[in-house]
Amino acid sequence: MDTTRSPRRRRVLAAAAALAAAAGAVTVASAAEAATTLGASAAEHGRYFGTAVAAYKLSDSTYSGILDREFNSVTPENEMKWDATEPTQGSFSYGSADQIVARAKANGAKVRGHALAWHSQQPGWAQNLSGTALRNAMVNHVTQVATHYKGQIDSWDVVNEAFADGGSGGRRDSNLQRTGNDWIEVAFRAARAADPAAKLCYNDYNTDGQNAKSNGVYAMVQDFKARGVPIDCVGFQSHFNANSPLPADYQANLQRFADLGVDVQITELDIEGSGTAQANSYASAVRACLAVTRCNGITVWGIRDSDSWRASGTPLLFDGSGNKKPAYTAALDALNGGSTPPSTPPPSTSTPPPPTGSGCTATIALNQWTGGFVATVKVTAGASRLAGWTAGLTLSSGSSVTNSWNAQSSGSSGAVSFSNVAYNGSVNAGASTEFGFQGTGTGPSSATCTAR
């Protein structure tokens, strides 16, 4: 058989090959354009786009429908924390967390474990321990929970929020910290021994740009890497609002941590606001992650605005009815490589009325589950600047406060009050600050506020 080809035949074959290549390119482009969900688009970049999930909301068809459609990673919101998984010392409870993990596995989604060791949301028995007894209890807790989920967790938040706010860059004073400065290292080593395949992360808030707190975390990670302490990733919670916006050096800060040889993850993203401003901030956060090779993915802290711990600030990608917001379009467009902001109605040019009254108001966003709750309280100044404040509320019979943050508490049952701490007592007219507390029983729906 003659295998020689004439010049004309070679030209025809070359043209056919070019057409085939062009068709292949069109096919690839079409596949990219077909990524119409957050998780699918993130996966094309080798990343995940996840959300925090509450087990008791999975029976809500709107909630679970969005979860299954949009996200390829989940983080149990409260179900893996110490109080949920070991309510009584040595007695472990995994039912709600197992439900979330099973659903994720059925949908082919990753699971971020949150969180093995944290000064907050500890069961009462752990809060009453100290020294060696607490250290041993912490190590046992990390070991038992990580072992239970061995092979099922992509990344663990091994230690959560262990650094102090403010300008010191030092550790937060807590019962865990008072067991010895090596407690974080000990927790990471215990987690590695229990689940060698999972990525081990340190997770914190207000570390999104370079500041004293993020510098403190940076120094710890640098030390851990130098000494062979097992740490694989750093989580940046990324809770943003008008008073604490997405920092200009957000991407650069992610990159400097990645340069230490760890992965970086945006772990609890929510951005208060609405319309174009909120949409552009979400797009900027997504693009920052995509620009950093070792940024594994993004988790938003809730699905609908009504599911958020900051519900009054409408900080998420879906409204309370489950409709996609401009922020959703912006995030998806950024994942798909778009560079233009979403089309949204122009912002109102009318000036909002000034705040009235010289005092303050307090509103509560409640995350309630069977037997417990977390309440986030927003304190808003009236027409005058606050120099200090006290929020009061009444708990129902049988309910009690177990711990709080960003406030000093007085009382644990019945009538309870919370006052500002040193760094959040000054609130400008019309501005807000937030504190939170955890409790058992049924959480409160309203609170009062008194200016001091």
| Under 8 Å between Cβ of 155 and 112 | yes
Q: Which secondary structure element, helix H or strand E, spans residue 20, and what is its range?
A: helix 7-33
| Under 8 Å between Cβ of 436 and 375 | yes
Lookup: tokens for 368: 């309630």
How far apart are the C-alpha atoms of 221 and 227, rounded to whole Å? 10
How far apart are the C-alpha atoms of 79 and 149, rounded to whole Å? 13
How far apart are the C-alpha atoms of 48 and 137, rounded to whole Å? 33
| Under 8 Å between Cβ of 401 and 409 | yes
Amino acid at 372: G
Strand order in the sheet with 400-405: 360-369, 372-381, 432-440, 400-405
Distance of CA 158 to the CA centre of its chain: 14
CB environment 21-56: b (16+ within 10 A), e (fewer): eeeeeeeeeeeeeebebbbbbbbebebbbbbbbbbe
How far apart are the C-alpha atoms of 416 and 432, rounded to whole Å? 21
Decide if 161 is catalytic.
Answer: yes
Q: Name every residue whose Cβ is closer than 8 Å to that of residue 445 and which is 6 or more positions away in sequence.
A: 364, 366
How far apart are the C-alpha atoms of 186 and 224, rounded to whole Å? 11
How far apart are the C-alpha atoms of 344 and 244, rounded to whole Å? 24
How far apart are the C-alpha atoms of 394 and 415, rounded to whole Å? 4
Catalytic residue among 77, 79, 161, 434: 161
Q: Please provide the DSSP assignment of 176-241 as one string.
A: TGGG-TTHHHHHHHHHHHH-TTSEEEEEESS-SSSSHHHHHHHHHHHHHHHHT----EEEE--EEB
For residue 241, count CB atoms less than 10 angstroms from its CB and return exposed for 0-12, middle for 13-18, buried for 19 or more: middle
Decide if 268 is catalytic.
Answer: yes
Per-residue CA distances from 184 to 158, 163, 178, 207, 336 (Å) = 8, 11, 11, 17, 38
SS3 (DSSP) at 4: coil
Catalytic residue among 77, 79, 86, 268: 268
Q: Please give the positions annotated as active site.
A: 161, 268
